[in-house]
Amino acid sequence: MRLSLRFIVPLVLVLTALAYAVMPLVDKLTIQWFVRDLNLRATLVANTIDEPLYNLVAANDTPGIRRFFARITQDERLFAMAFCGTPQGKPVATGPLPGEISCANLDGFSDPTGRVLTEAQGPLLISVKPIAPFGDTAGKIVLVQDMSFVERRSEQPSLASFAHQTMRAAAAACGPEFALQSGKRVVELKPSGKDKGEAVREFMREAPFHGRTPVFVGDDVTDEHGFVRVNALGGHSIKVGGGPTAARWRLADVRAVYAWLERRDEE
C-alpha cells in the first residue's frame, strides 16, 4: 500500500499541476471557438438581410433601417447593429454602439474573424460586413454581439452539479482508498487521508529533497495544508491572490509569480 501511494501521490500532484497549466490554454481556445462561431453567425445574418437593407438604403429610409435593425436585435445575443454608407457619415444604429466604433474607423474592425472589445458590461464581438447584394457596395453593416455569456459559463450551477456527480461516481468506483477534495471551481480525486501537506512531508524525506528548503506556491484552499507543512519545515510558503491563508508570503497574481521566478533564476 505504501509503495503504491509513493507513485499515486506524485501522479495526483503532477495531474493537478498539468490541469492548472492547461486551463489558460483551454480558456483561450474556447474563446477562439466562440469568436469563430459568432462571426459565422454575423456573416449569415449579413447575407440574409443584405437585399432588404440595400432596398432601404436605396430609398434613403433611415427610420425604416432603424426599425429593421430593432426587430433583428430582439435576439438577446445581438447587442447592437449599425449601418455606415460612407466613412464620412454617421452610423444609423439601434442600441448603444461602443465609443470606439465610428464610420471613419471601420477598417480597423474589418478583420474576417471579427474583433473583441472589452466593455464595462463584458466582451463584445465586432463584425463588419459589406452590403452588396447586386455587386455594388452600398455600405457596411456593423454587428455587435454580446460575449459576456463566455465569462459566465463557469458559473453555471448545473455544470458544477454535473462535475460533482461525475467525480462522486469516479470516487465510488475507485473504492475507499480514494476521496474527493473540493477547491475553487474544482473537485479533485485524491488518496484518502492524504493532502498536499502530507505529500510535501513524504517528498522531504526522500532524495533529492531531503535536507533541502521547501518552497510552496499555491492559490487555492487545497494548498493550505501544504503551506502549514512547509512552515513547520522552515520553508517558504507563498499565497497567490487574496483571501485568508497560513502562507508567510503573498504574490498578487500568476504574472507576479513568473516575475519572481525569473528574478530568482537571474540571481
Q: Is the pLDDT of residue 1 over 50?
A: no
d(CA 250, CA 242) in angstroms, rounded, equals 8
List domains and CATH numbers for the chain: 27-153 (3.30.450.20), 156-193 (no CATH), 195-267 (3.40.50.1000)
The SS3 assignment for 124 reads strand
Per residue in 220-238, pLDDT (tens digit) is: 888 999 999 999 999 999 9
d(CA 133, CA 26) in angstroms, rounded, equals 39
Structural contact between residues 164 and 187, judged by C-beta atoms closer than 8 angstroms: yes
Which CA distances in Å does 95 have to 61, 71, 259? 18, 12, 43
> C-alpha angle 78/82/86, rounded to 5°?
155
Structural contact between residues 90 and 62, judged by C-beta atoms closer than 8 angstroms: no
Per residue in 55-103, pLDDT (tens digit) is: 888 898 989 988 888 888 776 667 888 899 888 888 888 866 777 888 8
User: What is the per-residue pLDDT for 88?
Assistant: 87
Structural contact between residues 161 and 179, judged by C-beta atoms closer than 8 angstroms: no
- CA 128, chain centre distance (Å): 24
pTM of the complete model: 0.49
Q: Please report which confidence band the pLDDT of residue 3 belongs to, taking 50, 70 and 90 as the band edges.
A: very low
Structural contact between residues 144 and 114, judged by C-beta atoms closer than 8 angstroms: no
* 233-251 average pLDDT score: 91
Amino acid at 75: D
Tell me which of 35 and 240 has the higher pLDDT. 240
Per residue in 162-210, pLDDT (tens digit) is: 677 777 777 777 788 888 887 766 778 888 888 889 989 999 999 888 8
User: What is the per-residue pLDDT for 207?
Assistant: 87
What the block records as the C-alpha cell of 226 is 501544504
Nearest residue to 124 via CA among 143, 152, 104, 106: 143
Give the chain's mean pLDDT: 80
Amino acid at 200: V
User: What is the per-residue pLDDT for 235?
Assistant: 94
User: What is the per-residue pLDDT for 217?
Assistant: 93
User: What is the per-residue pLDDT for 90?
Assistant: 87
Structural contact between residues 83 and 142, judged by C-beta atoms closer than 8 angstroms: yes
Per residue in 140-169, pLDDT (tens digit) is: 988 888 877 666 655 555 666 667 777 777
